[in-house]
Every structure is written in C-alpha cells, then in structure tokens.
Amino acid sequence: MSIAASETPGTVEAAPNWQPNSLSILVFLAGLVLTGALAWIAISIHDHNEDRLLNLELKQAASVVTAAVPSIQIPLTSAAELAAATNGSPQQFQKYMTAFVGQPGPFVGASLWRLGNGTATLVAGVGPVSEPAASPGTTAFLTKARNASTFAIVNMLNRPLPTIAYAAAAPSADTPWVVYAERQLPKSRHLKVTQNSAFSQLNYALYLGLSTKPTNLLEASSNEFPLQGHLATASVPFGDSAITVVATPNQELGGSLLARLPWIIVVAGVLLSLSAAVLADYLVRRRRQAEWLASENRRMYSEQRSIAEVLQHALLPQALPEVVGVETAIRYVAGSEGTDVGGDWYDVIPLDDDHFIFVLGDVSGRGVEAATIMARLHFAIRAYAIQGDAPAEILGKLGRFLDIDQDQSFATILCALVDVPRHSVTLVNAGHPPLLLLNGKTGDFVRTTVFPPVGVDRTTVYEATDFVVPGEATIVAFTDGLIERRDESIDTGLERLRTLTTEGPLGLDDLLTKILTESSSAEYHDDTAILAVRWKN
C-alpha cells in the first residue's frame, strides 16, 4: 500500500510581524557611510576652496598695502632730493613738506637733517610734532636711512599716541640730507572696512614688521583681537621693514552653497538612506509574504491532496480478508501526475466459507470528487453483495449512485463472484480492462462482453460470464493505469502485460511487483490498482 497520508507540511510561520530586518539595516548603514564620505569630500573641497580664495584675497589686500608705500616714500625722497638740490634750503623744505604735514597728511611732522662728522644737525622742521632730539640714536637712525636704498622705519607704537617714524635720503649717494617724518596712527586702530574694498570679505590685522606681537599692530578691522579662526598671513616689504597682513574670512568666500553643501549632502543622504532602508524592508517583507503564501499554498495543496488520500485510505481495505483456499494480494500505486489522487479501488467481500466477491474499479477523473464517487460505489457494492445480489445485479443497481450528466464521471468495474472449491468465477465487466488468467506457463485474458461503464446509462442490463479456472490458477484484475500509454493501442499494452506474466512461476507478491515495475509506464502516471487471486490447489 502506498497511500500513506502525505507528510504534514513544514512549520508555517504566521504572517510576519514587523521588525527591522538585517538587510534594511545594512542598506541604511551603507547609505550613512556613503553620505559621510560624500560630506567629507564636500567639506574638503569647501576647505580647499576657502583656502585658495583666502590666499587670493590676501594677495589682493597685500597689494593694496604695497600700493600705499609710495605715499610715504615719495614725499620723503622728494624732499631729500630738493634739499640736495637747494643745498638744504630750510624755506624750500618747509614749503614743499607743508603739503604733507597735518591734514590730510600722511605726516604729523617732518624735519630736515644734515649728517656730517658723525652727528646729525637739524636744519628745518614742519608741523607741531617735535623732532627727535639730536642724539646718537637719532644720528644712527638717520645714518641708516641715508645708507639704505629705501626709507627707514622706527616703531614708536607704544607711545601714548602710537607713532611711526620714517627717514629717507635722496637716492643719489653721498648726500648729507636726510628727511625725517612722523606719522601718528589713530588711537582706535579699529578700521571699518568699506564694502567692495580688497578687505571687504576679510577680518584682518596689519602689523609692522614680520612679527605679529600686539605691540606691532598697526590697524585691525575688528575689535575681536587677536584674530581667531582660519588665518592666513602675508608680508610685504615696507621701507626697510615689512608689513604683515593677517586675515581671516568674515564670510564664506566661495559662496553659501558650497558651505551648505556638506549639510545638504548629510540631510539628503540620511533621507535617501532611510528611503532605501524602507524600500529594502518593504521588498524583504514582500518576499517573506510571498514565501509565506507559497508555503501556505503548498500546505493547502497537500492538505487537499491528503483529504482525498485520507478518504481513499479510509475506504480501501488495508489488508484483504482471509479467504479459505485462495491467496489474495493487492497493489495500489497513487499516480504522481498533478496533485489529485485517482478513483481506483479494490475490494474482497467474503460471503460464506466457499464464496467471495472481488471488485476492482476505476472512477474516471481525479481528486476528492472521484474519491467520493468511489466511496459511494464501494459501499453500495458491499451492501448489495452482502444481501446476496449477484455481480450482474449489483452493477445494474449502481446506476442509482452515479450519473455522468451530474457527476461528470463514470466508473469502470470488474465484479466477480468466486466459488473457491468449484474453481468457478462469475464475472461482469463494465467497461473495464479484461481479467488476466494465468495458468502455469500460459496467460490469457478472459473474454467477456464488455458492458458500458457504470454511470453512462441506467438502462444497461449487465450479464455475467461464467468460467472455470484450473487448479493453482491465478487471476489478475487491474486498472488501465497499468497498461495505458499514449503512443500505442491498449492491445499493445495488454499483450506486454500478458507476456511478462508467463515467464515461470513466481510467488503472488513477486508476481505483482514484477507486473508493476515492468508494465507500468514511466511517462503516464495514472493511478494503478492490481488485485490477484491464486487458488492454493
């Protein structure tokens, strides 16, 4: 018997509850990493760009400072030239320098000196601010200025009125005339930066000399001092000293978009990562759901099959009743085509010590419907048999239980009454493949009238064929699954079956095994039932 109920389907998850799955977390994290990388790149680009722009701005600012140099140098050297040309005329000097002293400047006072014999002598002065005392320090400074190719500078920023002193001689050598001038810086050295100037985008500080110590501060654009943040420094020559510009941007030099870009990337990246994670989660859930549905379908499918199987299992006798004088055996192979079981059945019904009825039937179609029809016929035959009806009567009455117009099926049935001691068989065939009779080394199909199957026509009158079998004969009934093949006539299948059963004596079980393995077709997987009866003597 191979109608074991199908295995219960594997454990089926209930509809999945929501919980973040590892794929969506992974997608989210990958998105964050990518976002971080992009933001870092944007920040780097931004910083690099700001650096570049700051340096450009600084250069521009430095060039402005450089441009201021002549406004100091030209008056001084021109006055020195004039002194040389006029042999140090105080009137000429005063007349010339007046234009540069006081308002508008640049100087608060200027004086003309003559260097000679290691001392400096004041020749003339302009403006309210006192000239330096004629001292060795003054002489040294003026001498330094005379020997330099440009003007000389003294840092006097620590005075109450922060001051820078300048001195310059005429470029032509060997002149004793040196011009001295002082410039006062405003007390507040916080200068407003005008828009569109070279400094408009910068906070900056100007220092005299190369050092940026506070005492060197010339002016700054901000009260917040010293400057904080991203600093850039440049120095430009100023006389025999230098002016150092320190600057930091007071706004985004590269524009606000570039500055916001990292944040835009972060926000967009996080949103995209979230969306991707949600999408991944959705897809994973859809797949889980599909898998769940598929397994649910499989379960229902196999359940459906197993309903029919259980039904069939319940109906078909698991063991044939013992009948004195004969050996009986059955084989049942469920078809593998599709999921439905077929409507094949068999039965052995003992009547008394000498008689029994055997039945082999096949309801056309498959599934629960076929199994249900089979059940009706199975029990109806049993009931009629036990009340003493002969096979022909039984089949004639079965039309009450099956109508092809309603049930869409008919049933082919072999039904036989066997008298064991007499070796006689009363056989009725309703559309069924013939009974095979094996007698030692010869095998033949029992010739009977083949009546229409049950369910086709209720008016059919079935008639039995009686025959006697020799001692130790075997009769084999089977359903068409055993012989039916698509590419050949059933006569060919019948002949194949007949010949393979005549090759020497076999035990009944071995015989059925041989018939099943050698006759049934691999290509056509209909259900197959075989029932064999062998006389013991």
Partner 1 sequence: MEELDTDETGFSVEQSDDSHGDPVVRLNGELDISSAAAFREAMEELVGKQPGRLVFDLSQLTFMDSSGIAVMVYVANNVKKVELLHASSIVRRVVEATGLSDILRLEPS
Q: Is 405 in the site for partner 1 (CB under 8 A)?
A: yes
Question: At a CB cut-off of 8 Å and minimum separation 6, what does 297 contact?
Answer: none
Number of residues that bind partner 1 (CB under 8 A): 32
Residue type, 372: T
Q: Is 430 in the site for partner 1 (CB under 8 A)?
A: yes
Bridge partners of 69, per DSSP, are: none
| Binding segment toward partner 1, per CB under 8 A, in 95-103, 157-165, 237-245, 443-451 | 443-451
Helices 22-85 and 256-315 meet at what angle, rounded to 10?
A: 170
Using CB under 8 A, pick the residue from 2, 172, 486, 522 that binds partner 1.
486
Task: Output the six-digit token pair for 277.
Answer: 């994670």
Taking a C-beta distance cutoff of 8 angstroms, is the pair 134, 140 a contact? no
Q: Is 321 in the site for partner 1 (CB under 8 A)?
A: no
CA distance 100 to 112: 14
Binding mask 352-371 for partner 1 (x = CB under 8 A): ----------x-xxx-----
Taking a C-beta distance cutoff of 8 angstroms, is the pair 57, 143 a contact? no
Q: Nearest-5° angle of CA 365, CA 501, CA 521? A: 35
Task: Output the six-digit token pair for 354.
Answer: 């000498």
Q: Which is nearer to partner 1, 182 or 344 (CB)?
A: 344
Q: Which is nearer to partner 1, 166 or 451 (CB)?
A: 451
Q: Is 125 in the site for partner 1 (CB under 8 A)?
A: no
Residue type, 409: S
| Binding segment toward partner 1, per CB under 8 A, in 8-16, 109-117, 324-332, 483-491 | 483-491
Q: Which pairs with CB-CB distance under 8 Å and at least 24 residues apart come from 307-311?
A: 307/368, 308/340, 308/341, 308/367, 308/368, 308/370, 308/371, 309/3, 309/5, 309/6, 309/334, 309/341, 310/5, 311/368, 311/371, 311/372, 311/375
| Binding segment toward partner 1, per CB under 8 A, in 206-214, 265-273, 290-298, 404-412 | 404-412
Q: Which is nearer to partner 1, 219 or 484 (CB)?
A: 484
Q: Is 391 in the site for partner 1 (CB under 8 A)?
A: no
CB 337, min distance to partner 1, A:
7
Looking at residue 210, what DSSP letter applies? S
Question: At a CB cut-off of 8 Å and minimum separation 6, what does 252 contact?
Answer: 50, 258, 259
| Binding segment toward partner 1, per CB under 8 A, in 83-91, 103-111, 315-323, 423-431 | 423-431
What count of Cα atoms within 13 Å lies in the side-chain half-sphere of residue 148? 21
Q: Is 12 left (phi over 0), alpha (psi -120 to 50) or beta?
A: beta
Using CB under 8 A, pick the residue from 16, 226, 255, 338 that binds partner 1.
338
Q: Which is nearer to partner 1, 107 or 462 (CB)?
A: 462
Q: Is 490 in the site for partner 1 (CB under 8 A)?
A: yes
User: In this structure, what are the phi and psi dihedrals at residue 505, rounded to the nearest 5 degrees?
Assistant: -75, 135
Residue type, 293: L
Can you tell me whether residue 393 is helix, strand or coil?
helix
Q: Which helix (H) or strand (E) holds 193?
A: none
Q: Is 394 in the site for partner 1 (CB under 8 A)?
A: no
CB 431, min distance to partner 1, A:
4
CA distance 351 to 426: 14
Q: Write out the binding residues for partner 1, residues 149-188 only, by CB under 8 A.
A: none
CB 527, min distance to partner 1, A:
10
Q: Is 326 in the site for partner 1 (CB under 8 A)?
A: no
Q: Is 429 in the site for partner 1 (CB under 8 A)?
A: yes
Per 3-state DSSP, the chain is made up of helix, strand and coil in percentages (nearest 5) of 40, 25, 35
Using CB under 8 A, pick the residue from 526, 532, 533, 535 that binds partner 1.
526
Q: Is 450 in the site for partner 1 (CB under 8 A)?
A: yes
Q: Which is nearer to partner 1, 162 or 361 (CB)?
A: 361
Using CB under 8 A, pick the residue from 145, 456, 482, 529 that binds partner 1.
456
Q: Which is nearer to partner 1, 113 or 345 (CB)?
A: 345
Q: Is 341 in the site for partner 1 (CB under 8 A)?
A: no
CA distance 389 to 413: 16
Using CB under 8 A, pick the residue from 234, 270, 310, 404 that binds partner 1.
404
Q: Is 444 in the site for partner 1 (CB under 8 A)?
A: no
CB 443, min distance to partner 1, A:
18
Q: Which is nearer to partner 1, 126 or 456 (CB)?
A: 456
Q: Which is nearer to partner 1, 233 or 339 (CB)?
A: 339
Using CB under 8 A, pick the residue from 111, 412, 501, 528 that binds partner 1.
412
Task: Output the six-digit token pair for 335.
Answer: 């078809």
CA distance 116 to 104: 33
Taking a C-beta distance cutoff of 8 angstroms, is the pair 226, 206 a contact? no
Q: Is 433 in the site for partner 1 (CB under 8 A)?
A: yes
Question: At a CB cut-off of 8 Å and minimum separation 6, what does 36 contact?
Answer: 269
Using CB under 8 A, pick the residue from 224, 291, 303, 337 that binds partner 1.
337
Looking at residue 186, what DSSP letter applies? P
CB 408, min distance to partner 1, A:
6
CB 490, min distance to partner 1, A:
5
Q: Write out the binding residues for partner 1, residues 134-153 only, by CB under 8 A.
A: none
Using CB under 8 A, pick the residue from 107, 207, 358, 451 that binds partner 1.
451
Task: Output the six-digit token pair for 67.
Answer: 């441009």
CB 359, min distance to partner 1, A:
17
The residue length of the chain stands at 537
Question: Which chain residues interact with partner 1 by CB under 8 A?
Answer: 337-338, 362, 364-366, 404-405, 408-410, 412, 429-431, 433, 449-453, 456-457, 480, 484, 486-491, 526
